[in-house]
Amino acid sequence: EALILKAAAETGCIVTAENHQVSCGLGSAVANLLSQKCPVPLERIGIQDRFGQVGPQPFLMEQYNLTAKDIAAAAVETMSRRL
């Protein structure tokens, strides 16, 4: 908790990325914390609410927009929303 709040205060935004459903995952827990203690722009990257797929990990990362390129783009966009 302390590390997340420190990062939010220092950077003015937070991006979470997880290979899990966005709802009820890490991003949701971080959103709850930030909303109560340090409201900053937040982008939650993860698997959206849709039917799952099967395949090799690189294929799945592409399908769910979880590649390093996707995460970097989300970070840049989130930084543009800082107050």
The pLDDT value recorded for residue 52 is 82
Q: pLDDT tens-digit profile of 47-63?
A: 988 888 899 999 999 99
| Residues of the domain holding 48 | 2-79
**Distance (Å) of CA 18 to CA 3, 10, 46, 68, 83:** 18, 22, 5, 12, 25
The domain tally of the chain equals 1
The CATH number covering residue 27 comes to 3.40.50.920
- Say yes or no to pLDDT of 83 above 80: no
